[in-house]
Amino acid sequence: MRITIIGAGSVGMLIASFLAEQNINVTLIVRRKEQALEIQKFGLIRKNLDGSFYTAKIQVETDFSSIKEDSLVIVAVKYGQLKPLYKTLKTLNIESPLLFLQNGLAHFQEALRLPQKTIAFGACQFGAEKESDHIVVHRGQGVLKLAVEKGQKELFKKLASTLDGKIQLVMEEDAEQMLFEKALLNCFINPITAIVQMKNGQLIENQYTYQLLLNLYDELMEAFPEKREDFQFEDVKNLCIKTAANTSSMLSDRLQMRPTEAETIIGEVIQRAAKREKPLPTLTTLYHLLLAIESGEKM
């Protein structure tokens, strides 16, 4: 199996490192020459949950023309970085399977407009944190849910067995529902960690943020009662526990003064609730706070 990963950030580097450890032929596509040089010079280093290290020798490219026709292409950039990438993805072989790993919902319909015959989506429930251009820290054990929206499933089943023991890959049937459920989980963790600047685990240790999580749960389940059975408050707590040491991707964006994925995660959930005439006052307040922080508006 040949795999190309576009985007050597937290998620891209972590997955590349686990794949390389399983002797998979993996190539990372990065957009900065200095990152390519750093990974070539030092290798790709993963800091494990138990404090040990793993160094992988990995092929790094800055040029999309290096993507081999028979390669599975995993897209591991942020949602906001996808727009300029679609143009390039369109030019890849239509037989090349694509796997999108973004949080949120906005990319779902957009990705399906690409000409490739096989398009799959993933929802990562592990924690990953890029420490430098060649070091990634595994910040929490968690599954990678994967659903093939169109095309071949076999390849992904093979990927699941290859990664087994490193990252647990769970195949799902309905990609949009999978992304929606992950977006719901992110609505609990991402905005509060980004606004209050705390690690995921602190959310359930602090009485005030814990109360906010409970309020969010009540209003989200009121808006989407059909989810109540499969989506327990325990699931939110468990994700906070499993990724306790992680800096959420939204907090990471905030700390690096980059745009967050508020729109594709929280904005999309608020819109879906609005269609049912269900206001989400707590989530909307968090959303507006985030947007205010991002736009830099201060009194």
Ligand X SMILES: CC(C)(CO)C(=O)C(=O)O
Given the rule CB under 6 A, which residues bind ligand X?
103, 125, 127, 186, 189-190, 200, 239, 243, 246, 248-249
Which has the closest alpha carbon to 147: 169, 126, 125, 174? 174
Q: Which is nearer to ligand NDP, 85 or 293 (CB)?
A: 85
Residues 232-291 that bind ligand NDP (CB under 6 A): 246, 249, 261
Task: Identify which of residues 60 and 240 has a Cβ nearer to ligand X in the complex.
Answer: 240
Q: Binding residue for ligand NDP (CB under 6 A) from 3, 4, 5, 9?
A: 9
The question of whether 41 is a catalytic residue gets the answer no
Distance between CA 12 and CA 8 in Å, rounded? Answer: 5
27 or 186, CB closer to ligand X? Answer: 186
Instruction: Tell the residue number behind the tokens 């399983």, with chain if given.
Output: 22
CB of 173 to ligand X, least distance (A): 21
The site map against ligand NDP for 128-167 (x = CB under 6 A) is: x-x-------------------------------------
Which lies closer to ligand NDP via its Cβ, residue 222 or residue 235? 235
From 2-10, 173-181, 192-200, 272-280, give the range in contact with ligand NDP by CB under 6 A.
2-10
Q: Locate 88 and state its tokens.
A: 């390039």
Closest distance of CB 138 from ligand NDP, Å = 10
Which part of the chain contacts ligand NDP (CB under 6 A), choosing from 25-33, 65-73, 214-222, 228-236?
25-33
Q: Which range binds ligand NDP by CB under 6 A, 99-107, 197-205, 212-220, 226-234?
A: 99-107
The one catalytic residue among 78, 182, 199, 242: 182
- Which of the stretches 8-16, 109-117, 149-157, 171-179 binds ligand NDP when contact is defined by CB under 6 A? 8-16
The yes or no reply on residue 127 touching ligand NDP (CB under 6 A) is yes
Structural contact between residues 262 and 294, judged by C-beta atoms closer than 8 angstroms: yes
Q: Which CB atom, from 80 or from 279, has the smaller least distance to ligand X?
A: 80
The widest CA-to-CA distance across the chain, in whole angstroms, is 55
Residue 4 in the binding site for ligand NDP (CB under 6 A): no
- Which residue of this chain has its Cβ atom nearest to ligand NDP in the complex? 9
Which residues participate in catalysis according to the annotation?
182
